[in-house]
Amino acid sequence: MVKISRFGKTIGSLVLIPPTSHNSSQPNNPIVVRDLIDHSTKHWNRDLVTQHFEPQVATKILNIRIPLQGEDQLHWTLSKKGYFTVKSTYLGLTGALSEFQNHSPGSGDTWKKLWNLKTLPKVKLLLWKCLNDLLPTKVKLASFIEINSIFCSMCKSKPEDAKHLILECPFAKAIWFSLPFGFIPQLHSNLSLQEWILSWLQNNEINVNIDNLDWPHVAALVAWSIWKGRCFNVFQNKPLNTKSTSKGILYLLESVKTLNDCGQKLGINTNSSHIPSTNSKWTPPLGDFIKISCDASFDPSNLSCGIGLVARNNAGTFRGARVVACNAVDAENGESLTMWEAVKWAKEMHLQKIILESDSKQVISALKGDQTQVHWQNNTILKDCEYLLSNFTLWSLDI
Ligand SMILES: [Zn+2]
């Protein structure tokens, strides 16, 4: 069966509606998708949809946004850009893609939290490698090349995979035990390493606050120090030393804490991976433009999205605000829908000269013409934004 996408969402077998108990009176006259749409209002024909589909399917269909213009397109759903690539096919077949997509609902927030951790970049990189199963352990290397042994370099008794190294190896356990955080790795033996990291990165499941340092920061630094100890042992033949490794961890924690405290006093963001906005201070629009500041909040746990819009003029005077609750697939989808709501709102207010301000570089780049920046599903939303924006006297984008 060929997958057909309409309005930026795959609806597959919905293209032709087979005879069912609902429409068996017309077995030789199947209706097609366009028959389900009221083209004058650009809305679904609710009665027809609910009449022909099971309630769950009907709800999904009715939640599909119908664009104002454009034509149906075929999309390769395994790639972000919607084009066929051998790589996406390979990843799809091997399951790597689904594994990645399992992270995807929370990926925006998860990766954001990871890269915003107030710790050293090399520590964040280690977490990223762990989450993507890229840590070059012996078990991992053995899946690519021939090596003498897959057993742990430190204890020599168990296969050396990432979870063993960070949580299960006697050396790792000794490090965790020696630190004053009361963390017992054995209590998390039912989780994979990725699940364990996600549990505190996404849900703050373990909420230990130590002198203004949160648990993700502490756990990441301990994991990195254990890995570093293992690498020194393997590559430089340095003996494993629980005491000095623990002391090093406490010293690093104290150093980063001091750095963060100083940064706070001076009003400096000491998070080295934080990319400051090019326009962190709000600037008023020129002349008779109205600037609409747009932002979205996405909750991956229930795919809900909150949209906030604020309009101000060149004197900084508040001209209005709007909040919208909706569903989104991910954070980028939420940001795209936010832009769509902003343009609709500006049209409702009969504004003619507007500036749309968003902190989503991808969405702004896509609206400026680089459609490869966003997922193909969001391109239909942004194309509708462009379509509506063409009716304004002047408009521009700000980030
Ligand atoms: Zn070991």
pTM of the model: 0.51
CA distance 382 to 371: 9
Q: Are strands 37-38 and 9-10 parallel, antiparallel or unpaired?
A: unpaired
Ligand 1 center from residue 156 Cα (angstroms) = 6
CA 187, 189, 193, 198 torsion-angle sign:
negative
Q: Per residue of the chain (399 residues), give pLDDT as tens.
A: 334 444 444 444 344 444 444 444 455 677 788 888 888 888 898 898 898 888 888 888 888 888 888 777 888 888 888 888 888 888 777 765 555 555 443 456 778 888 888 788 899 999 999 988 899 999 999 999 988 999 999 999 999 999 999 999 999 999 999 888 777 777 777 788 888 888 887 765 455 555 566 788 888 999 999 999 999 999 999 999 999 999 999 888 887 777 766 655 555 444 433 333 334 578 888 888 999 999 988 877 778 888 999 999 998 889 899 999 988 888 889 999 999 999 999 999 999 999 999 988 889 988 888 878 888 888 889 999 999 999 899 888 887
Ligand 1 center from residue 159 Cα (angstroms) = 8
Token pair, residue 87, equals: 């790589």
For the chain, domain boundaries: 107-264, 290-397
Ligand 1 center from residue 162 Cα (angstroms) = 10
Ligand 1 center from residue 12 Cα (angstroms) = 49
In CATH, what number does 290-397 get? Answer: 3.30.420.10
Ligand 1 center from residue 148 Cα (angstroms) = 16
Ligand 1 center from residue 295 Cα (angstroms) = 47
Residue type, 294: C
Outline where the chain has alpha helix (H).
Answer: 46-52, 55-62, 86-94, 96-116, 121-131, 138-142, 162-163, 170-178, 193-202, 215-235, 242-266, 331-348, 361-367, 376-389
Ligand 1 center from residue 254 Cα (angstroms) = 28
Ligand 1 center from residue 36 Cα (angstroms) = 61
Ligand 1 center from residue 152 Cα (angstroms) = 5
Token pair, residue 37, equals: 């749409």
Q: Which residues does 160 contact at the CB level (< 8 Å), separation at least 6?
A: 137, 138, 139, 150, 151, 152, 153
Ligand 1 center from residue 231 Cα (angstroms) = 13
Other Cβ atoms within 10 Å of 164 Cβ, number: 21
